[in-house]
Amino acid sequence: MSGPILVFDSGIGGLSVLSEVRKQLPQHDYCYLFDNARLPYGNLSEQELITGCVALITQHAKRLKASIVVVACNTASTLVLPQLRQQLTIPVVGVVPAIKPAAMLSTKKHIGLLATPGTVRRDYTQTLIQQFAGDCKVELFGTSDLVLLAEQHVAQQQIDLHQLHEILEPIKASQIDVLVLGCTHFPMIATQISDYLGKGVALLDSGEAVANRVRFLLSKEHTGNKQLQACYTKEINEGLKEALVDYGFSEFSLVTITD
């Protein structure tokens, strides 16, 4: 029996990626590690993010004897993958905003990227746009507030639709026809986003592409007990714990940040 697949995010957004991976690899054990003590990552300095993520992920990958690490966070993926790959001998998969498929899908050649402020301003993101969307007008929308709304939604709290619509109003006004959800939190409230933007705007995220990559890297037969374990850096409320139980998690643990 192989070690679990370790999926990491700042909060619950990475569950959108975990769901896609589980569709393709249902027999595996999974550990979902989320650094909710430092949420949202889009507001952290680059050095704080790199130091904290690398220490936390490597510590738990080694403790769990994980078979692969999935960094299911766009903000972290733009910065920490090289150092993680130096520290670990197992494969490390990150999340890339779906700029390329968005550019191919758009008929207007006018697309948008909705992400955290950190992801929006990274050189990494600009390089993706230059490489894969050179024939498109690309609008960039940065928000950390939407991350917190997604957290509230998954924790079974009522989200402020007025605040949601204020965040999305510039996107609606931009007249794009494809919107890239460049933060793994955002697919968790894709229905609410789509309801406001309307059917004329297609939403794209990277979950399926990440799952395809993980399945390719774990091409040998790996089996487990289909266990789901959740680890977090700050105590979670009952609403979120209930949501995780409904999702299938059976083990919960508070972990220490050691950076």
Q: Which residues are catalytic?
A: 73, 183
Residue 137 has pLDDT above 80, yes or no: yes
Residue 188 has pLDDT above 90, yes or no: yes
User: What is the DSSP annotation of 2-46?
Assistant: PPPEEEEESSSTTHHHHHHHHHH-TTS-EEEEE-GGG--GGGS-H
Alpha carbon 248 to its chain centroid, in Å, reads: 19
According to DSSP, the β-strands at 228-232 and 202-204 are unpaired
Selected from 3.40.50.1860, 3.40.50.300, 3.60.15.10, 3.40.640.10, the CATH number assigned to the domain covering 99-205 reads 3.40.50.1860
Residue 85's pLDDT band, with cuts at 50, 70 and 90, is: very high
pLDDT: which is higher, 62 or 1: 62
Greatest distance between any 2 Cα atoms in the chain: 52
The residue whose two tokens read 């399945």 is: 215
Q: Are 49 and 41 in contact (CB under 8 A)?
A: yes
pLDDT of residue 175: 96
pLDDT of residue 41: 87
- The answer to whether domain 5-94+208-254 and domain 99-205 are alike in fold is yes
Q: What is the pTM of this model?
A: 0.93
Residue 174 has pLDDT above 80, yes or no: yes
Percent of the residues in the chain that have a pLDDT greater than 70, as a whole number: 97
Residue 73's pLDDT band, with cuts at 50, 70 and 90, is: very high
pLDDT: which is higher, 44 or 21: 21
Q: Are 4 and 224 in contact (CB under 8 A)?
A: yes
Lowest mean pLDDT among 55-69, 156-170, 245-259: 245-259
Enumerate the domain spans of the chain: 5-94+208-254, 99-205
Selected from 3.40.50.1860, 3.30.70.1140, 3.40.50.170, 3.90.1170.40, the CATH number assigned to the domain covering 5-94+208-254 reads 3.40.50.1860
Lowest mean pLDDT among 109-118, 121-130, 187-196, 212-221: 212-221
Q: Which residues pair with 111 in a beta bridge?
A: 138, 178
